[in-house]
Amino acid sequence: MRRALTLRRRGDRVVPGERGRSVPGWAGAGPALASSVVLASRFTPSRARGDLDGSVSGRWLRIPGVRLPFMPPPAPSKSNREAAMLKVYLDPCTVNCRKVLAGLDLMGAPFERVHVDYFTEGHKKPEFLAINPNGALPAATDGDLALPESNAILQYAADLNGASQHYPKDLKRRADVNRWMLWEAATWFPSCYVYLVEYVVKPLLAAQPDESIIEKEAPNWHRLAGILDARLATSAWLSGDGVTIADIAVAAPMHLHALQRLPLGEHPNLKRWMTEGIEQLPSWQRTQDAVMNALGPKQ
Ligand SMILES: N[C@@H](CCC(=O)N[C@@H](CS)C(=O)NCC(=O)O)C(=O)O
């Protein structure tokens, strides 16, 4: 099939245009085409001063007096197209799902949300286990990538969207953000979770909190909170001058700190960071209602 097009002169090059607009099939066609086009310009100098009429026929570009190979750009691959939309499987009331929601919102990262109901154990159903064999929320997919782990999802989304403000590219700064996120998953989340289960989940199930479990965990929790408190004594955010995904990750396990009865009073810098920093972020505030509706005190 023959397709008519107009070529325009730009400097010593001839560039494609249909009435001045670029023609798909030329943009990004690569160096071989670019050099061919320079050649065309030299070959037909008088014509190349203004617009030229040409056509594309099969693999050939024809302009009066010259025939050049035409290389259309590759069609976007399936995985590239799918990479444009991250799918996140979550129930917004859980600690690690809220973390991902608030972090994606902070970064302005687009995603498709798929609800998996935590209370009816959607995360134990075969279709979800195929994505995350751990049977835990959240998880994400991007084309053929299946990605469990809330912190890995935030890191991936940050890179996908170029959110270096919240996940720095500088190696030392990135290492610092990574170490807080690893620390959160390995030690901070499990400790805060003890308070969440005793003071939030058990009352929801009409069970009594077991104070002996809290007493046993308290020294460990205060030790960990002390590490955060010391870090936050000298800066507003955990890593660097601005909020990063490390802040969101570390805040998530204490997201219901009042209901969890976390003893923040002994850690003033940690308390300030949570109440005057994290809780003032619009991205954090937008994720609050879903949590309170599911886990907050019932009327
Ligand atoms: N390290 C995982 C932990 C995920 C996790 O434990 N999620 C909880 C909800 S916050 C869950 O689904 N637990 C499994 C269960 O309760 O059966 C992450 O950060 O994504």
Q: What is the pLDDT of residues 88-115, one digit of tens each?
A: 999 999 999 999 999 999 999 999 999 9
CB neighbourhood size of 259 (10 A): 17
- Spacing, Cα 251 to ligand 1 middle (Å): 16
Q: Could you tell which of 89, 90, 94, 196 is best to mutate to test the pocket of ligand 1, judged by most ligand atoms within 8 Å of the CB?
A: 94
Query: Who wins on pLDDT, 69 or 17?
Result: 69
Q: Which fold has domain 81-295?
A: Glutathione S-transferase Yfyf (Class Pi); Chain A, domain 2 (1.20.1050)
Residue 94 near ligand 1, beta carbon < 6 Å: yes
- Beta-bridge partners for 4: 55
Q: Phi and psi of 108, rounded to 5°?
A: 65, 35
How does strand 86-90 pair with strand 111-115? parallel
Mutating to test ligand 1, I would choose from 123, 187, 192 the residue with most ligand atoms within 8 A of its C-beta, which is 123
Q: Is the per-residue pLDDT at 50 higher than 60?
A: no
Ligand 1 atom 17: residue of nearest CA: 136
pLDDT-based confidence at residue 293 (cuts at 50, 70, 90): confident
Whether residue 225 is predicted with pLDDT greater than 60 in this model: the reply is yes
For a pLDDT cut of 90, what percent of the chain falls above it? 67
Report the length, in residues, of the chain: 299
Separation between Cα atoms, residue 281 and residue 106, nearest integer Å: 8
**Model pLDDT, residue 160:** 96
pLDDT at residue 44 greater than cutoff 60:
no
27 contacts: CB under 8 Å, gap ≥ 6:
16, 73
Whether 168 and 159 have beta carbons less than 8 Å apart is answered as: no
- Cα separation of 238 and 225, whole Å? 13
Q: Report CA(133)–ligand 1 centroid distance (Å).
A: 12
Q: Which residues make up the CATH 1.20.1050.130 domain(s) of the chain? A: 81-295
More confident: 168 or 299: 168
Does 76 score more than 90 pLDDT? no
Question: Quick one: which atom of ligand 1 is closest to the CA of 153?
Answer: 20
Mean pLDDT over all residues of the chain?
82
In tens, the pLDDT along 130-149 reads 999 999 999 999 999 999 99
The DSSP result for 48-75, as a single string, is: HTS-EEEEEETTEEEETTEEEE--PPPP
- Give me Rg for the CA atoms of the chain: 28
- Is residue 149 within 6 Å of ligand 1 at its C-beta? yes
Question: How many Cα atoms within 13 Å fall on the side-chain side of residue 232?
Answer: 27
Q: What is the pTM of this model?
A: 0.74
214-243 average pLDDT score? 97
**What is the CA(36)–ligand 1 centre distance, in A?**
57
239: left (phi over 0), alpha (psi -120 to 50) or beta: beta
- Cα 88 from Cα 97, distance rounded (Å): 9
Q: Is 150 in the pocket of ligand 1 (CB under 6 A)?
A: yes
More confident of the two residues 268 and 17: 268
Q: Is the pLDDT of residue 190 over 50?
A: yes
